[in-house]
Structure 1
Amino acid sequence: MLSEQLIVEAALRVLQYHGAAGLSVRRLGVALGADPTALYRYFRGIEDVVLAITDELLRRVVEGWEPTGHWREDMRELGLRLHRVYVEHPQAGVLAASRVTGGAHEIQIIETVLGSLRSAGFPEREAVEVYHAFIDQMLGFAALDAAFEALPAEHQKRDDDRWRDTYAQLPAESHPNIAATSGLLDESMRRSACQSALDLLLDGVAARLDARRP
């Protein structure tokens, strides 16, 4: 017996092994051991499957998450959850990061963040601006880091080693700033800047809130 959930789980497996280019109705049918035409009873086509995959990732983001009522802690936890889920499913994460589903879990995220920002003291327009900056930053990092995780291991290693093999070798005479920081660059650029960038964003939001107070 097929179901939307079974099809979405099969699609996640297909993406893991074949990437976005390999996601097709025929391949989903093979993964499910079903006639591919049976999928059309649940989805109109691959586009609808992609939106369902996106909604499934967002479901996993909010699963077990209980907002505390403190805007900064809630936004930080939600942002890191989103990043973690998308990077755990890199092929799906790259595919889903730019999509808008209108589904229940997406609605829950938007409603919760806007509510936190309005309760903190932001008027409607600023709350929307902050939400937009927050969610685009988190989805941007999710897509960037998911794309890196989707690379073959040898490509990941080559890119990481470039900071040591190329940048650490640049002479101070021609590139004084890179030479002075090459060790730090090598250390920092091998990991995601998602968390530090999120904290910088939230610092800016907090400063804007402080400026609003008498």
Structure 2
Amino acid sequence: MTGRKRWSTEEILDAAAELLRTGDADSFSVRKLAAALGTDSSSLYRHFRSKTELLRAVADRILLAAMHDHRPEGDWKQRITSLALHVRDAFGRQPQLATVWGRYASSGTGSRLVMEEMLQALRASGLPDEEIPARYHRIAVLIAALIASEAGVSTVTPEEHEQGLELFRVAVLGADPERFPALAHFARDVRPLGADRRAAFEEILAAQLSAIEAAAPRG
């Protein structure tokens, strides 16, 4: 009698990533993954001790792939901006996994590579070493939040997108000027959250980096 196939760690992560592309972290389970692979959950727990550990490994592969061809260039602000956009683009190709990263983070090689590059860039900013961890944390939280937010928008179906735009138009253009005077005034210029997200991402990040630059000792 032929035994069940023994799946490698990479094959398990491939299958998990595929399930997450068509679902989300809430509906994902080790049992569903085992069924997709034609095996039982116990065989997967030999590779990962829990669902959370598995999800962290899937998210870390995205970071690892993003860092594989990343080449730091420019000054410290350019390095952090380039890194952030590189990670953003990597999760943009697999938006379902962005929420996994935002929720579960990761502690694998990909995560460490991102941390190393950002910390090196911050040291080049001139900040005292004792201030760098807190500044790093703020930037990391900002980037993760922006990427997860953008992923939520990008997974909306075309039909849902059109419905949302129509509701937005009705809510904004039809705003009562007596109750919502500012909204009525700016109604034709206010844009929905899904518009120009890359520009917003860059501007918000640039503001954070400018604050760091202003705080760094001169000379």
TM-score by length of 1: 0.87
2:143 maps to 138
Instruction: Give 1:166 shift.
Output: 1.1
Opposite residue 77 of structure 1, the aligned amino acid is S
Instruction: Give 1:188 shift.
Output: 6.5
| 8 Å Cα contact 2:173/2:187 also seen in 1 | yes
Q: In the alignment, does 2:194 pair up with 1:194?
A: no
**Could you say what the CA RMSD is over the residues aligned between the two structures, in angstroms?**
2.2
Instruction: Give 1:187 shift.
Output: 6.1
Opposite residue 150 of structure 1, the aligned amino acid is T
In structure 2, which of residues 98, 104, 107 is the aligned counterpart of residue 99 of structure 1?
Answer: 104
Cα distance in structure 1, aligned partners of 2:202 and 2:165 = 19
Opposite residue 203 of structure 1, the aligned amino acid is S
TM-score by length of 2: 0.85
Identity of aligned residues (%): 24
Cα distance in structure 1, aligned partners of 2:39 and 2:119 = 43
| 8 Å Cα contact 2:17/2:97 also seen in 1 | yes
> Which segments of 5 or more consecutive residues in structure 2 lack a partner in the other structure?
1-5
Alpha-carbon spacing, 1:21–1:70, altered in 2? closer, same or farther (3 Å): same
Cα distance in structure 1, aligned partners of 2:164 and 2:214 = 36
2:3 maps to none
Aligned residues: 212
Alpha-carbon spacing, 1:188–1:39, altered in 2? closer, same or farther (3 Å): closer
More helix by share: 1
| 8 Å Cα contact 1:51/1:101 also seen in 2 | yes
1:136-169 Cα distance to aligned partner (Å, 9 max, x none): 1010011112122334443333333333221122
Give 3-state SS (helix, strand or coil) of 2:103's partner: coil
2:44 maps to 39
